[in-house]
Amino acid sequence: MRVSMISLKSPREIDLMRKAGAIAGAARALAGKMVAPGVTTGEIDSAVRKFIEGQGATPSFLNYNGFPGSACISVNEQVIHGIPGGRKLLAGDIVSVDVGACYHGFHGDCAGTYPCGEISAEAQRLIEVTEGSFWAGIAYAKPGNRVYDISHVVQQYVEERGCSVVRDFVGHGVGAKLHEPPEVPNFGPAGHGPRLQAGMTIAVEPMVNAGDFQVTVLKDGWTTVTTDGSLAAHYENSILITDGEPEILTAEGNL
C-alpha cells in the first residue's frame, strides 16, 4: 500500500537539487539587484532567463501551465504570479520576484521582495515580517515534526505583527516536479499534516498581506492581488530536511 506520495530524494538527486537551487538563488539575487526606478519588469525577466540558461538550466516557470515569463514579478498589491512586461518600476514600489530553475530534471524555487528606491516604513516592515516568518517557520523543519508545525508558526509570527497570510496559495514539495506533495500552507493548526523526514525537499513560501488575507486573480488568469488593495510581500526558499538543521538549497552565494 502506498502510504505517501512524498518523495525522499537520493544523494544523487539531492546534489542536482543543490545545483538547481544555487542557480535559482543566484537568479533571484540578480533580479533583486536590478530592481530600480525606470527598469521594466520585462527587462528583469529577460536577464533572469539569460542567466538561468547560461548556467545550463531552464527557467522552471517559462510556459509552466502557459505562464509567459521566466520570473513572476509582482508589484505592490500584486501578491504572486505577476506577468513581466513593459511596466516601469517607480521609486517606492516593492517588487516580488519568484524564480525557478530546472537542472538535469530537478527544480529549485525561491522568491523575495525588493525595495525600488526609497520605500515607506510600512512597506519595509512588511518585507521584514515576511522574511522573518520564513525563518521562524523553518526552525520547525525537522524530522519527526509535521508540516503544519511550520505552517502554524508562520501564521502566528505574521499575525502577531498585524499582517495576514494568504490562504488561497501554499508552499509545496519540490523536486523532479516544480510542485509536488506535500502542500505546505502558511496557516493551520500545529501537529497536523505529513511527518517530515530527512530527504524531503519542500518550498516554504510565506505570502503576506499588510491588510486582509483575501486575494483576487485578475482577468489575465495569473496576476494575484490583495482584494483590499493593501501591499503584499513574498519570501521563499527550497529546503532539504536533514537529520539536523534544514539545508537552504536556494541560498544566495551557493553557486
Chain residues that interact with Mg ion, rule: CB under 5 A: 109, 203, 205
Closest distance of CB 123 from Mg ion, Å: 22
Among the listed residues 119, 98, 100, 83, the one whose alpha carbon sits nearest the alpha carbon of residue 22? 100
Closest distance of CB 109 from Mg ion, Å: 4
Give the residue with the Cβ less far from Mg ion, 51 or 235: 235
Three-state secondary structure call for residue 171 = strand
Helix (H) or strand (E) holding 49: helix 41-54
Closest distance of CB 3 from Mg ion, Å: 25
Give the residue with the Cβ less far from Mg ion, 125 or 173: 173
Among the listed residues 205, 232, 235, 206, the one whose alpha carbon sits nearest the alpha carbon of residue 78? 232
Helix (H) or strand (E) holding 110: strand 106-115
Closest distance of CB 150 from Mg ion, Å: 14
Give the residue with the Cβ less far from Mg ion, 26 or 119: 26
Three-state secondary structure call for residue 254 = coil
Among the listed residues 230, 220, 246, the one whose alpha carbon sits nearest the alpha carbon of residue 79? 230
Give the residue with the Cβ less far from Mg ion, 194 or 206: 206
Closest distance of CB 174 from Mg ion, Å: 7
Closest distance of CB 91 from Mg ion, Å: 28
Neighbours of 125 (CB within 10 A): 18
> Which residue is associated with the grid cell 518600476?
89
Give the residue with the Cβ less far from Mg ion, 132 or 206: 206
**Grid cell in block for residue 100:** 525557478
Give the residue with the Cβ less far from Mg ion, 149 or 205: 205
- CA distances to 16, 91, 218 from 107, in Å: 8, 33, 27
Q: Which residues pair with 240 in a beta bridge?
A: 201, 247
**Grid cell in block for residue 244:** 539536523
Closest distance of CB 239 from Mg ion, Å: 12
Give the residue with the Cβ less far from Mg ion, 27 or 119: 27
Angle at 104 between CA 101 and CA 108, to 5 degrees: 30
